[in-house]
Amino acid sequence: MLQTPSGGAGSGTAARDSGLMSIGTVLNALRDEFPEVTISKIRFLESEGLIEPQRTPSGYRKFSTDDVARLAHVLRMQRDHYLPLKVIREQLDAMERGETVQLPLVGRQRTGDDGPQAPPGPTVARVGRAELMAAADIDDGELKEWESYGLIAPLEDGAYDAEAVTVVALVAELGRFGIEPRHLRVMKAAADREAGLVEQVVAPLKRHRNPQTRAHAEARTKELAALTVKLHAALVKTALGVRLP
């Protein structure tokens, strides 16, 4: 069971302090599974009350193995289930009480030898409106507003593809910093232009009579999409003049 340390700053005995880790050690321990985690991310999750490391008399954070396990659990909930921090906090509290927590089967569900096993059940390619709102912790009015700005759109049958869960979770996170959905229209426009460029490159492959060539078009689309995302991120970092992971 996940446990939250009950000791305050500098309250542990020498025996209890043995084995405690610095934030840098925790970062290295997590990076195999979470290569994008940063010290700033760990500090942010602490500020949100999701972890409570001990503090030395001089103010340095010291993490127990329970802290690291709890932190890894939080990161998995964000990565694999796209849960907002409020929902993650509620689920952690429920687990502390010994209650069974049901995780939503949406978005990326890592399986196989390269990652933790997914909860039982199939990974869905589509989610309903209620599931989408729950993933971002928003109401129907907010979702309609986001749709009006073109940030997300339902499929013909009224459902949403799994990638929409990622979009709403990110829009909700940006909202915590005062970035409103209407501000994101420029990002949507830029994404549409980048997608158009990729489509222009792979269009001849998609029209080819050979099925293998058409299948190659899908692989090429994914490859180009990944490259455009990396380039976009690098250009934003350059424009801001900051170094980010």
CB atoms within 10 A of CB 18: 8
Q: Name the residue range of residue 204's domain.
A: 183-245
CB 137 within 8 A of CB 84: yes
- In this predicted structure, the answer to whether residue 8 has a pLDDT above a threshold of 60 is no
User: Mapping DSSP to helix (H, G, I), strand (E, B) and coil, where does residue 64 land?
Assistant: coil
2 domain-assigned: no
CA 84, 72, 58 angle in degrees (round to 5)?
A: 100
Please check whether residues 132 and 166 belong to one and the same domain: yes
Question: 156 falls in which pLDDT band (50, 70, 90)?
Answer: confident
> What is the gyration radius of the CA atoms in the chain, in angstroms?
21
In angstroms, the CA 245 to CA 243 distance is 7
Please check whether residues 170 and 197 belong to one and the same domain: no
In angstroms, the CA 212 to CA 235 distance is 35
| Averaged pLDDT, 140-149 | 90
CB 154 within 8 A of CB 160: yes
103 domain-assigned: no
- Its sign, for the CA torsion 221, 226, 231, 236, is positive
In angstroms, the CA 43 to CA 49 distance is 10
Q: b/e for 140-170, b at 16 or more Cβ within 10 A?
A: eebbeebeeeebbebeeeebbbbebbbbbbe
- In this predicted structure, the answer to whether residue 213 has a pLDDT above a threshold of 60 is yes
Q: What is the CATH number of the domain that holds 157?
A: 1.10.1660
- In this predicted structure, the answer to whether residue 110 has a pLDDT above a threshold of 80 is no
The count of structural domains within the chain is: 3
- In this predicted structure, the answer to whether residue 124 has a pLDDT above a threshold of 70 is no
Higher pLDDT, 67 or 165: 67
For residue range 174-206, what is the model confidence (pLDDT) as tens digits? 888 888 888 898 888 888 888 888 888 888 877
5 domain-assigned: no
Q: What is the CATH number of the domain that holds 41?
A: 1.10.1660.10
- Which residue, 164, 179, 194, sits at the end of a domain? 179
Q: b/e for 36-50, b at 16 or more Cβ within 10 A?
A: ebeeebbeebbeeeb
| Model pTM score | 0.47
User: Mapping DSSP to helix (H, G, I), strand (E, B) and coil, where does residue 62 land?
Assistant: strand
> Position 2: which residue type?
L
CA 61, 66, 69 angle in degrees (round to 5)?
A: 100
Q: H or E segment at 229?
A: helix 211-240
- Which residue, 163, 179, 195, sits at the end of a domain? 179
1 domain-assigned: no
What pLDDT does residue 54 have? 92
